[in-house]
Amino acid sequence: MPGLEDLYREIILDHYKNPRNRGSLEPPAVRSEGHNPLCGDEIEVFLTVDNGVISDIKIGGQGCSISQSSASMMSAAVKGKPVAEARALIHRFKHMMSIDEDGEPDTSAPLGDLEALQGVVKFPVRIKCAVLSWNTLAEGLDIAAE
């Protein structure tokens, strides 16, 4: 029986090789970008928010497999979701990555494939890679709320 780590590696590789929601959106879609200079990762997040729901999201940028697969999983997890749910997921993901934020996360937010990234916690230098797209999403949501 294949171990959980093998399964997780497969999920990460699949998202890296076949990134979901890759591309860009024209204005008035919101655009935010994030950089992780430690690793050279770049992430662009394009968002359309309609009536409090993320109706469309596209991801651009380049970088290591962790940063790009995390961005792909993030886009799949929040597309079509209410902004409040996406924010809860950001909180929960960062909590999983051992990044302390105020309060306990809402554990009802389903992590699904995202749990595959949990192993990254063992490699502190890679945590920034995994969290980059989530911070960039949070920034985009802030811009969309203005």
**Residue 41 interacts with Zn ion (CB under 5 A): yes or no:** yes
The least CB distance from residue 67 to Zn ion, in Å, is 4
Rounded (10°) CA dihedral 81, 84, 89, 92: -160
Q: Taking CB under 5 A as the rule, which mask of x and - marks residues 69-108 in contact with Zn ion?
A: ----------------------------------------
Strand partners, 41: 36
What stretches of the chain show up as alpha helix (H) in DSSP? 4-17, 65-78, 83-96, 124-145
For residue 127, the minimal CB distance to Zn ion (Å) is 10
Bridge partners for 35 per DSSP: 42
Are 58 and 30 within 8 A, CB to CB?
no
What lies within 8 Å, CB to CB, of 125 at 6+ separation is 38, 39
Report if residue 133 touches Zn ion, rule: CB under 5 A.
no
Tell me how far, at minimum, the Cβ of 34 lies from Zn ion, in Å. Answer: 11
| 39 touches Zn ion by CB under 5 A | yes
Instruction: Identify the residue among 49, 86, 120, 129 touching Zn ion (CB under 5 A).
Output: 129
Which 8-state DSSP code applies to residue 22? B
Least distance (Å) between residue 7 CB and Zn ion: 22
Does 64 bind Zn ion (CB under 5 A)? Our answer is yes
For binding to Zn ion (CB under 5 A), which residues are involved? Answer: 39, 41, 64, 67, 129
